[in-house]
Amino acid sequence: MENYSVYVPRLVTKRENFAPGHRACIGCGEALAVRLACKALGQKTIIVTATGCIEIISSQLPYTSWRVPWIHTLFENTAAVASGIESGLKILMKKGRIAQQEITVVAMAGDGGTSDIGIQALSGALERGHNFLYLCFDNEAYMNTGIQRSSATPFGASTTTSPAGKVSIGQVTWKKNMPAIAAAHNIPYVATACPSYPIDLMAKVEKGAATPGPAYVHILSVCPTGWRCATDLTIRIGRLAVETGIFPLYEVENGKYRLNFDFPKLRPVTDYMKLQGRFRHLSEDVINKIQQRVSAEYAELKEKASEGKG
Amino acid sequence: MTKPEGELTWRDLEIGSIVTEAGNASQYQTGDWRSERPIFDNNKCIKCGLCYIFCPEGCIGQNAEGYFDADLFYCKGCGICARECWPKAISMVPEEE
């Protein structure tokens, strides 16, 4: 163990709570993120999953990939079901029907289930202060139904419902800043993570699960099918999203911002975009526009982090 | 499961379509999706475990000697392990059958 940081992947738990044999596309970043999150969560967990990629890849009847109690819900009520489970456990423990113990309730949803359809239930659950962890696996479109745009699709991305062509540049609206919306509820813990930084992701999921009260972790999940990229580039693209400042990794603990990876100089956004077919049509003007927006947002985030407040 | 998937009928389903066997997806072979197979060169391997942590299938395991190998029953051949292996101990070769 001469160089601890190099060998650290070997030190994580070998137990897979998300069984292999799931039907995720080849090179799926979301399946990797779920696998890592389940490793971090451990056995005493109840998972609630919205409709979406994670649900259809993991639970094709008569098979299931889950080795922890798991329930499937609709898009719109993931956070509501998780709140109900949390309250139910609390009351059962109070009445002595089950032994007093720590059980983590986790809600998982995709970006559509979080930022479009499930946002009202999520907002309600965050506001009521239930003790649960919400994981959003953001692959930036409705991938399981065939790459339709969601409000988390980035500006300029070509999807089947925002196709690029002579008239359109693809998606014409900017990505909804979901972690900021979660942080605006003044909840104890909000974080962004990416499976390209696996140890960081597992630490954040663990921290979110241990936080009393609601916690929200937004996880960027590279989707080779929908992003039109090579399957072996999943990890590299996730890393580039962080290094270019498009998806900065940060935590908001009780309103205090902290940047986890602060690069002295960001890479240009083209490094990230040129690997993906969904951005291949973009002209230099549009890329410059995106670059300006990314730099401005990163500077804003950095300022919040240096002030140590929101 | 007591019966193979092809022989199951609706009568064998639990009420509410509950699956009572945790993690039984591990009986399902995804290895036949593969068009490329990872080959591990143990002379170059430094046993860091990056391939293990980055595998979306979770099909890479460590053997008794500490080297890593992919379970080809599950491996879909995405090539992430080969791309991320910085000593370049893993290479992808086409499946020829």
Which candidate from A6, A19, A28 shows the least CB-CB separation from B56? Answer: A28
pLDDT grade for A151, boundaries at 50, 70 and 90: very high
Residues of B in contact with A58 (CB under 8 A): 25
Residues of A in contact with B84 (CB under 8 A): 235-236
Interval A28-73: pLDDT, tens: 999 999 999 999 999 999 999 999 999 999 998 889 999 999 999 9
Which amino acid would we find at residue A158? S
Q: Is B95 on the interface with A (CB under 8 A)?
A: no
Torsion of CA B28, B33, B35, B41, to 10 degrees: -20
Distance from CA of B64 to the nearest CA of A (A): 14
Does residue A27 contact residue A225 with C-beta atoms inside 8 Å?
no
Average pLDDT value for chain A: 92
Distance from CA of B84 to the nearest CA of A (A): 8
- Say what the ipTM of the complex is: 0.93
Who's near A77: CB < 8 A, 6+ residues apart?
A: A118, A121
> What 3-state DSSP class applies to B96?
coil
Interval A97-137: pLDDT, tens: 999 999 999 999 999 999 999 999 999 999 999 999 999 99
Average pLDDT value for chain B: 89
Residues of A in contact with B77 (CB under 8 A): 26
Provide mean pLDDT across the span A282-303: 94
> Which of B8, B29, B80, B91 should be substituted to probe chain A, the one whose Cβ sees the most A Cβ atoms within 10 Å?
B80
Residues of B in contact with A230 (CB under 8 A): 79
Interval B10-47: pLDDT, tens: 888 888 888 888 888 999 999 999 999 999 999 999 88
* Angstrom distance (rounded) from CA A134 to CA A143: 20
B35 → chain A, closest CA residue: A26
Answer whether the bond into residue A154 is a cis peptide, omega within 30°: no
* Angstrom distance (rounded) from CA A133 to CA A136: 10
Interval A86-105: pLDDT, tens: 999 999 999 999 999 999 99
Interval A211-238: pLDDT, tens: 999 999 999 999 999 999 999 999 999 9
Which candidate from B25, B46, B92 shows the least CB-CB separation from A63? Answer: B25
Task: Reply yes or no on whether the pLDDT at A298 is more than 50.
Answer: yes
pLDDT of residue B2: 66
Q: Is B72 on the interface with A (CB under 8 A)?
A: no
| Contact state of A21 with B77 under an 8 Å Cβ cutoff | no
pTM for this model (two decimals): 0.93
Reported CATH class of domain A11-307:
alpha beta
Give the residue extent of every domain in chain A. Answer: 11-307
pLDDT of residue A1: 43
> In chain A, what percentage of residues exceed pLDDT 70?
97
Give the residue extent of every domain in chain B. Answer: 29-94
Q: Is A127 on the interface with B (CB under 8 A)?
A: no
* Angstrom distance (rounded) from CA A177 to CA A211: 22
Concatenate the DSSP letters of all residues of B10-77 into one string. GGGSPGGG---STTGGGGS--GGG-SEEEEE-TTT-----HHHHH-TT--EEE-TTS-EEE-TTT---
Locate B22 and state its tokens.
């945790």
What region, left, alpha or beta, does residue A89 occupy, with left being phi > 0 and alpha being psi -120 to 50 degrees?
alpha
Task: Reply yes or no on whether the pLDDT at A4 is more than 80.
Answer: no
Task: Reply yes or no on whether the pLDDT at A12 is more than 60.
Answer: yes
Does residue A137 contact residue A30 with C-beta atoms inside 8 Å?
yes
Q: Is B47 on the interface with A (CB under 8 A)?
A: yes
Fold adopted by B29-94: Alpha-Beta Plaits (3.30.70)
